Amino acid sequence: MSENCTHDCGSCSADCASRTADFRAEQNQHSNVKKVIGIVSGKGGVGKSLVTSLLAVTARRRGYETAILDADITGPSIPKAFNVHEQLMGTDDGVIPAQTKTGIRLVSLNLLLENETDPVVWRGPIIAGTVKQFWTDVMWGDVDFMFVDMPPGTGDVPLTVFQSLPVDGVILVTSPQELVGMIVKKAARMAEMMNVPVLGLVENMSGFQCDQCGKVHDIFGASHAEAVAKELGIPVCARLPINPKLAAACDKGMVELFEGDWLEKIADAICGEDK
């Protein structure tokens, strides 16, 4: 323990004996979440929300009770992808999550704002506290798999999720650029520090296949996924191509209608075989 220790482990990432204490928060009494999977990357704009959405849809299609906790407080995009806009309601027992058309349960700060475009100008501890409340104050019900859409970086919110929620594993999301791969390694090292398993790597924007000639163009450069995964000792579980139809589905709130089997392998690893 450092001589400058404040004893506030909730805002500290130092690796010391005090970290063996259990800081996990209690679920709401009306929640029974069996497995929590975090979707992380040290870099913004690589597609964490897209991967979160597609994994939740894939698990739901397999018959599992599925939920998304949108931990990206200042940049929430999950509600738009599912065309969910109504404000969340609550009772004396807690907050009632929204539901998508196929029954995926969803909580996001955008569903608590008066206007969806209002900025969230909060300091880190308040943002982290809000994420924790999404776990303790929401009546999630019986959930087989909860996917947590993390904000970029290795700051307050990821630390709060790792310490407060019983995270069973994380999925790393990257894109082909070498710079992104370097930053993604930071997220992997953070998960390692917090004793959270890294289940695999998903590379988004992994080339574009021309409709006319069929050739794949590496618009963002050659892939570095295999090298990054090998260094971290994890598998490359999926490569998501640049797909205009998929992007349009998210923009129109129709992500639940996507066609593609890109994430089936990683869904097998998380969920096991279909029911």
**Residues making up the binding site for ATP:** 42-49
Confirm if 162 and 187 have CB atoms less than 8 A apart.
no
Who's near 9: CB < 8 A, 6+ residues apart?
18, 19, 21, 23, 163
Contacts of 132-135 with CB under 8 Å at 24 or more apart are 132/25, 132/160, 132/164, 134/69, 134/70, 134/71, 134/107, 135/25, 135/27, 135/28, 135/69, 135/164, 135/165
Tokens of residue 178, six digits: 């070498």
Binding-site residues sit at 42-49
Q: Residue 156, CB half-sphere, CA atoms under 13 Å: how many?
A: 15
Compute the distance between CA of residue 96 and CA of residue 139 in angstroms, rounded to an integer. 6
Who's near 133: CB < 8 A, 6+ residues apart?
none
Compute the distance between CA of residue 256 and CA of residue 213 in angstroms, rounded to an integer. 29
Task: Estimate to the nearest angstrom the gap between the alpha carbon of 126 and the chain centroid.
Answer: 20
Compute the distance between CA of residue 185 and CA of residue 41 in angstroms, rounded to an integer. 8
Phi, psi angle pair for 192, to nearest 5°? -60, -45
Compute the distance between CA of residue 114 and CA of residue 107 in angstroms, rounded to an integer. 15
Residue reference for tokens 């090298």? 227
Confirm if 226 and 197 have CB atoms less than 8 A apart.
no
Confirm if 170 and 40 have CB atoms less than 8 A apart.
yes
